């Protein structure tokens, strides 16, 4: 069996950093901008950025519905920050006026956009992460938090009493940005999920 191909959504945000982090984690990732590129990958990373802008780019590029369908069919995905927002089944404070963030589903959860942002725009800290022996240094930038988790959702990390990392089957999401540090454990976890090893 050939190794799984992991794509990184390359519409906006930290695409390059996620490509590099996945390479460090042993994968051979490719950028995804178009429908035919999405069709060739077995898994997708959705970087941080601005979830409202990304939603509209996804829709305009005819990627929104194909992604929703693939996620329903068990497509592995990892979303960081704005990526977490998009992977939710429900988004609070999604924006308005035709510029709102659009949920892709993938994880049965309700996410509040810019939740920490109303308190502190950005912050970092060491947090415990399920399955890791040592804490993760988490960088939050206008980050969301998870307000409701469905029964199938595994909570992996919390910060200031809020859920900030979750997994449901092959879909992983963090409210923070591991690509901005040199720690590759979260990307390695995703590569292991994609390859059926975690």
Separation of CA 168 from chain center: 12
Minimum distance of ligand GLN from residue 114's CB (angstroms): 5
112 is in an annotated binding site: no
Measure the CA–CA gap between 122 and 54, rounded to whole angstroms. Answer: 20
Q: Indicate which single residue of 7, 8, 43, 48 sits in contact with ligand GLN (rule: CB under 6 A).
A: 48
CA 167-143-111 angle, to 5 degrees, is 50
Measure the CA–CA gap between 77 and 97, rounded to whole angstroms. Answer: 28
- Per CB under 6 A, contacts with ligand GLN among 87-116 are 113-114
Could you confirm whether 149 is annotated as catalytic? no
- Per CB under 6 A, contacts with ligand GLN among 145-184 are none
At residue 169, φ and ψ (nearest 5 deg) are: 55, -125
Minimum distance of ligand GLN from residue 185's CB (angstroms): 20
Query: Is 77 in contact with 106 (CB distance < 8 Å)?
Result: yes
Separation of CA 136 from chain center: 16
Q: Interface with ligand GLN includes 51 (CB under 6 A)?
A: yes
4 is in an annotated binding site: no
Q: Interface with ligand GLN includes 137 (CB under 6 A)?
A: no
Could you confirm whether 18 is annotated as catalytic? no
At residue 79, φ and ψ (nearest 5 deg) are: -120, 130
Minimum distance of ligand GLN from residue 113's CB (angstroms): 4
Could you confirm whether 177 is annotated as catalytic? yes
* Pairing mode, strands 77-80 and 43-46: parallel
Q: Interface with ligand GLN includes 141 (CB under 6 A)?
A: yes
Catalytic residue numbers, as ranges: 81, 177, 179
Residue ranges at the known binding site for L-glutamine = 49-51, 113, 141-142
Residue ranges at the known binding site = 49-51, 113, 141-142
């Amino acid at each position: 069996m050939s190794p799984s191909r992991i794509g990184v959504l390359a519409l906006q945000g930290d695409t390059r950093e996620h490509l590099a982090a996945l390479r460090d984690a042993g994968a051979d990732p490719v950028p995804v901008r178009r429908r035919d590129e999405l069709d060739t990958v077995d898994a997708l990373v959705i970087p941080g950025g601005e979830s409202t802008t990304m939603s509209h780019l996804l829709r305009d590029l005819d990627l929104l519905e194909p992604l929703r369908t693939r996620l329903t069919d068990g497509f592995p995905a990892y979303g960081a920050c704005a990526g977490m927002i998009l992977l939710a089944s429900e988004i609070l404070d999604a924006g308005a006026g035709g510029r709102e963030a659009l949920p892709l589903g993938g994880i049965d959860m309700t996410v509040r956009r810019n939740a920490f942002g109303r308190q502190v725009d950005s912050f970092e800290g060491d947090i415990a992460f399920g399955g890791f022996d040592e804490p993760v240094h988490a960088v939050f930038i206008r980050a969301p938090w998870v307000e409701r988790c469905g029964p199938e959702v595994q909570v992996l990390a919390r910060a200031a009493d809020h859920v900030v990392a979750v997994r449901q089957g092959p879909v992983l999401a963090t409210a923070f940005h591991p690509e901005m540090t040199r720690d590759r454990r979260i990307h390695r976890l995703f590569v292991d999920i994609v390859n059926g090893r975690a």
